[in-house]
Amino acid sequence: MCGNCCHNLRGRGGLWPSSLPDFVYVSVPHSHQTISLQEWEVSTLREKAKKLSVAFKVEPNFLFLDEISGVPIVTQWNLDHDDCPFLSAENKCLVNEEKPLICQAYPLLVIELFNDRDEPKNLAIADCPNAVELPFKDVPSNEIKPAEFFRQLFDKYHAAFLGNMNLASIATLFRNTMSYLIGNGLIRPAPIHKKGVMKALLRGEQRGLLEHLRDRYPDVAQKVSEEIQIIKQFDLKALEDLINESTSRDSA
């Protein structure tokens, strides 16, 4: 309840990976980055802001140009505030039941916990009074069992770990969706270095990916929306059951 994570947001996020596809344009400089928002989160928070009479501004962050439709498509937004507008004077979240996944996951700042060899990646823990060290600091990564790693995260971080798992699932869903769309010729992202692309990105009518899919490929949009709902319904009980199942397999 200190509210530190909701104040002075500019530039506090981690640097974006250098391996982004050549068609992805990051429009917000790192010094201006705050809280990353998904498309449906922007819609939800915009409605909440109206009801609460709260100022609410967002800006497109990750976007690409679809050469088939000529539409600049946004895949992620940035909260355009120095301090979160939904934090009360008593340091209470005014949208606690609907807060963004990135907030649910705090203070864990990790998307993919394991690489292809099932070895833990570095776990980023934010500067938070509730942050705790996990007992794996001096253990070789190839000796850490994923189930035990997950068990420690669940025991120490509980709801924050659930938020992280859901955030990771959303990231995977959208990577798979992009692969499907590109592989089936439904969209054709233009490399940002191609002539005229930057001008089109910044001057065209930008649209969210889901909005674009609902207009052009409603069946795909429906499928993605259903998957999002399944992820959002994954709760602490389901996460604990999954960890118990994994632990049992490792012990067998």
Model pLDDT, residue 145? 76
CA separation for the pair 130, 151 (Å, rounded): 18
Question: Residue 121 pLDDT more than 80?
Answer: no
**Residue 111 confidence class, pLDDT cut points 50, 70, 90:** very low
Q: pLDDT class for 189, splitting at 50, 70, 90?
A: very high
pTM given for the model: 0.85
Task: Locate the domains of the chain by residue range.
Answer: 4-251
pLDDT per position as a tens digit, 82-99: 999 999 999 999 999 999
**Minimum mean pLDDT range among 62-66, 72-76, 115-119:** 115-119
* pLDDT in the model for residue 141: 66
What burial letters (b/e) apply to 160-191, b meaning 16+ CB within 10 Å? bbbbbbbbbbbeeebeebbeebeeeeebebbe
Long-range contacts of residues 13-20, Cβ cutoff 8 Å, at least 24 apart: 13/109, 14/109, 14/124
Closest to 13 measured CA to CA, from 88, 129, 133, 106 = 106
Tell me the C-alpha distance between 45 and 57, whole Å. Answer: 10
pLDDT reading at 205 higher than 70? yes
